[in-house]
Amino acid sequence: MIFSAQQLVSKISHDMTLLPGDLIACGTSVGIGVMKEPVNTVTVAIDGIGELTNEFRQWGG
């Protein structure tokens, strides 16, 4: 990771209020990973709470 967990929380909290229970989902650095498929799905699941699914679509050709 480029930033430590502490640095991420600090940087994000400068732009918004973080509350207990908030999640920070991190991906790979720019240029490290690429979407392999035209449509990629990321799901975050927490037992007893539920799931959040986001779909990412590549632009252009």
The runs of H, that is alpha helices, within the chain are 5-13
Mind listing the pLDDT tens digit for each residue in 2-35? 788 899 999 999 999 999 988 888 776 666 666 7
Instruction: Output the pTM of the full model.
Output: 0.53
Number of structural domains, the chain? 1
Residue for token pair 């959040």: 52
Write out the residue range of the structural domain in which residue 44 sits. Answer: 5-57
Mind listing the pLDDT tens digit for each residue in 29-48? 666 666 778 888 888 898 99
SS3 61: coil
pLDDT at 58: 80
Interatomic CA distance for residues 60 and 8, integer angstroms: 31
Identity of the amino acid at 10 = S
Q: Cβ contacts of residue 57 below 8 Å, gap of 6+? A: 38, 39, 40
Is pLDDT above 70 for 49?
A: yes
**Which whole number is the average pLDDT over 47-54?**
92
